[in-house]
Structure 1
C-alpha cells in the first residue's frame, strides 16, 4: 500500500475518513506499530496517552494542542508496540507557532526507554527548536546519558514559526533518513541521512514541550504513524495546474518526482499548439515542476496539459493524464463592449423561471473581461458585482446573491437594485465607474399586453445593433418565460435597412416643438439637416442631447397658436445604421379643453368572454385636444378611485372618436363596425356588468398646485339596454345625442344588431340629434324598434315658451287605447327631447300599425297650456 499517497489524501479528507485510513494501515501492516490522528477527539484511549494530560487538549480541527496554564515542561507518551526497529518508518505533522529557543522547543520521541519524558531518557528523538537562529530539524540519539546527532536539516530551516510534515526511516543496517515537507504536507524531500551510534531500544513514542508563558498553547501534533516502512507502489498524479504568467505554467504532482523524468520536456504536451522549452523541478518542493513555454498563451484560451512517464522517488511511472487551465488576463472595457441583453423586472406570476429579478449582460467584444467590482444600477441605487469572468460572446446572469443557486453560472450582486415593474433604468459600469451600457425601459417594451403583468423577461432582439431603443426589445417567447444565460428567443441579427421616420411630435408652448423618430438617429447629421415648415416658421435653434438621440427640440421665433396644424420636413436625417431619410410629419399646439368639449359617447361594460371593457370618447368641440395627462376613473363608495392615466400624447381632433381599453385586437376581431386607428391601449378601472360608473378628468395646474377637473361622468345601468335583448353580453350602450345630458337615461340605447352591437371609433348606430321645429316635433314619422340601428327609437323634441312646465305624454293605438305612458307630470325645460323605444306597458314590442302621440303641458298650478297630437307609424318586417 502506498502510504505516501494516503498521506496526500490526509491533507484534504475529513478527520473521520482519516481515522478509517489509519485503521486500515494497522490491519494491512500488522500490529507491531501504532497511529493516531485524534479524529476521535480523545487522547486517553485508542491509543492511551499518559503524562501531564491536563496540559493538552484536542482542538476544533482535531489536532493535539498544548493547553497549559503557566510556563513549564509538559509531555505525553504511549507504547509504540515496535519489537524491533529494522525497516521502520515514523511520520507526523507538527507545528510550533513561535521562533524556537533554549526555553521554547519541542521533542518528538520516536522511541524512549521511559514513559516519563521529563527524565531525559535514552532513545531516539527529533529536536525542534534551540538557542540562536541555527534551528534545524535534528534527529538525535541519547544512549547511556550521552546525546549524539544522527543527522539534521540545514541550519535555520525552522528558525521561525513553522508547520511541517516529517518522515523518518531506519533500514536494517542502522541507516537513517530524514525527509521533510516544509509546506506541511506529505510531499517529502530528503533533508538528511545518518547512522546511529548503537542499536536503538525503547518502548514508548512521546511528545515533549518546554515553553515560556507566551507559548503555552502554541505546540501542535497530528497524523502520527510508527510502524513498518510503507512502500509506495502508486505512480504520481497531477493534482493542479497553475498559470504563473503568459509563458510559464506550474504543475504539481501528488508526491515527489524524480528530476530525470520531471525535467524531460518530451514527457509533456500542451494543446492548443504551444511548445514547452524547459521543465524544471522546484528547488524546495520536489512535487512541483515549472514549465517554460516557447510562445505566449493567448488570452481567453483553455489549454490542456498532458503528461506521461513521470516517476516518483520509488520508480513508479505515471500513465497519460491531463489537466485543463484557462488563461485569463482582464482587459479594459469601453462603452459598448458589454450590453444589457435581457432582464426580468416583474417575476410574478411565475411562468417557468425562478421568482427572482435578474439582468443578463453579453460581451459583444473580443476582450476578456473581469466583472469583479463592476456596478449594476437602476434609477435609484447601485449594487456591486462579485467575482466573475466574461469571455467574448458569453452571456452572464447577474442576480441577488440569495438567488445565485437558482441560476446556474450566475454571479451575485450585493445590494441588487430592485427593478420597477412599469419603468426604470438599468445601468452597467466597470470598476472605474465607466458606463458601459444603459437602458430606460417601459411597459411598451414588452410589445405584448398579455405579458406585461409579469413572469416574462424582456429580451434584446439584435445585440449587434449600433444603438438600441424600444423597437429593439420585446417580451420573450420562450416557454419558460425567458432565456437567462443563453441566446435570446427573439434573437435576430438582420441589419436595419429602413430609413428613419417621424414617430410623434409635441408642441411645448409657446414656440418649441419636440420631434421623436422611430429609432435613434445620428446627432451630427441631425445638427445639419434642413428643416422647413408649412405654414412657415423661423427656426432659431435646436437642442440635441445625445450622440444617437431618439428625439430633439426645435425653437422657433414665432409663437405657435393653438389648434393650428403645421407640416414639418427634415431633410438629411441618418440613423445609426447609416440609413438616410427625409421624413415629414405634422405638429400643432393642442387647445385647452373645457368641460363638455369631450364626452363619453359609447361604453362596453359587459364584454364577451376573453375580452376587455372599453370606453369611447367623442370630441364635439372645434378644438384639437391632447389627452396626455387625462384619467379614467370610477366612483367607489362615493369616492373617485382607481385612476388610470393616459401617459402619452394622443391628439383628439374635432368630431373624432377614441376608444380606450386594454385589448384593441379583441375589439377589432369581434366588432365589424370598428374604425381602425382610433385606439389607446389602457387597462380601465373595473366596470360593473350591472350598474357602474365612468369618470373622465384631467390634471390642471392651478397656481402652485394641480387639481383633477372632471370633464364628463356617467353612472350607467344595464337596464338602459333595449328591453327585448336576449343577452346583454358584448352589447355596447351608445349615446344618441352628444349634445344632450350624459346622465339622461333616455339618451342611451343598445347599439344596433345589424352592425354587430357596437361602433367603436366611429359614429354611433343610434345617433339621433335632437331637432327643434316649433313646439313639438318627432324625429321621424315612423319607428321600427328592432335594434337594427334605423329608427329604433322615437325622439319627441319640444320647445316651451315658459319654464317650469309639467308634461304627460302618452301613445294611443288606432282604436284609442293607451299603449304607453311615456312620462307623467314630468318637469320640462324650455327645450328638450324625450325618447320612446317602442315598448308597450306590458313589456312587449308595439305591433305594426298607426299610433297617435298625445302631449299635454300644464303649468305648476295645474292649468293647461297646450295639447299636441302627432301621428306616426310603427313599422317592421312582414
Structure 2
C-alpha cells in the first residue's frame, strides 16, 4: 500500500510538472509550493486563505513563488479586500516576473486592483525595469458594498502573445471579459506573486486564495536546437527554441562536437533559452557541428535524437604583409565595363577580410582614397582568388568567372588611371601588397589594351619584379576573374609539352570523342601560338589559331572541319603547334591523330 501511494505521489508530481497550484489547505505557504518575500507579514487564516498580517506602519509587502509559465498559460486566483481600494491601498498580482523581489526593478506583467472612488477596474500592466504601463484598461466595476471587494480573476495568454483578462466580481466562475491585447515583450518568467501596498489601518485587509497556473493548451512539442556559434576560443553559445529543464540542460554529456567531444561545463545566461558550453582547449579554425541529445523542456518533452547545428570558427588573426596579394587588375575596361582588382589568399588558412582595405596613391606615394573591402566578417579560404569590383554582374557577363560566388561588390573603388598608377592592399598593420603598374606592361602586339587584364605570373617573386605582371591570354578571354591566372607559371614544370587527349576522334555527333582535344603546358609565359592542321600528305586544311596569345596551360579543340567549313575526310592528320615569344624564343610541336568514322 505504501509503495502504491508513493507511486501515485510521484505520478502526480510528473503530471503537474512546471505548474503552480496553492489553495493553502495545508495551512502554510512554506511548502508545496514555497513562497518567499515578506513572509512575516502574511499568514494562513482559519479558513485556509492567504492573508496579510497586522502592521503598525504603511508599507509594501510581497510574496512570490517560482513560476516558469509565460506563454500558452492560464492564471486563476481569488482576491478579497475588506476596504475601499485606492492609490494608497491596492493589490498587484504578478503573473510574470524575472525578479523575486516584486517591489523592485523587474520585467513582467501584473493585474492591479485599486483606484480612488467606489468603482474599481481590473487592469493588466506591463513593467519594464521600474517603468509601468497599462496595456488592458478594464471597465469600471460598481460594488454593492463600497467597503468590500470580492473577485475571482482569470488571465490567459496564448503562444502568439494574446492576453485576455476575465473577472467575476461575485467571486464565482461566471467570467466576463475585461479586455484583450497582444504583447510579446517578455516571453519568459521565473516568479509569480502578490504585491500589497497599504496604510497601517488597511494592513490586514488583503486575502488571496486558489492560485492556479496551468497550460492553456497542453504542450507536446519537443524543444529544438536553433543555432550555435563561437563566443571565444573556449566558449560556444547554444540557442534553443524554448527554455529547458535545468538538470538535463546542464549535463555536459548531452552536448557533443565532432573531434572535440563533450564540453567541460554548461552554464546558463541572462537569456533563458541560451546556454554556454565551455571547452578545456582552444578551438582551431574550421567548420563544426554541435549535436545534442536527452534534453527536455519545462513540460518534460524530450528533444529529438541528434539535434544538430553547424557553425564556423576563425581564430583571431592579424593580417601580415603578403598574406593577401594582388593577383590581377583591370583598370582599362572595355565599353560598358568596370574596373576590378583580383586578390589572392597567399596563406594556408582562412582569412577574415573585414580588416582589409583597398587604396591608390597620392602624389607623395602614400596610400590614398582608402576603401574598406567589407564592413562585416568575410571569410576567404586558403589559396583562393576573389574579385573586388563595383558591378559583379558586369564582370561575370563580360568574362568567364569560374567561381561566381567569389566576388566582393564594393560601393566604390579607388580611382585607377589607365596609363599608370598603384594598387595597394592595407591591413591593420600597414601595407600588405602594392602593385605599381604602367600601361606598357601589356604585350606590345596588342592593338587595343581595353578590356585586357594584367595578371600576376608568380606569387613567390616580388610583386613589382620586372615581368611579374603580363597581359591575360586572348584564348581565355583576356581575364581570369576568380581563378588561376592564364600567365601564372608552374614552378614544377621543367619542359614545355603539347599532347592529345586521344589520338583518335570521330566528329559524328554521338557524344563520344567528337572533338580532338589538344592540351598544352609551357614553362614560360607570354607566348603567341599558331596551330595548323595538315593532312598526312602535308596539305594545310585548317588554320586553328594564328598568332594568338595563350595561357601557360590550357586546351584547344578541333571539330574536324576544314577552313572551307566542310567535314574533313577519314584519315591521318598532323597537328602543328608553333609558339614564339617577344624575346625571340620559338618552340615547335607536332602530334599525329586519326579522324575516324563508324563502319556502315
What band does the TM-score fall into relative to the shorter chain?
Answer: 0.3 to 0.5
Relative contact order, CA 8 A, sep 6+: which one is greater? 2
- TM-score scaled by structure 1? 0.29
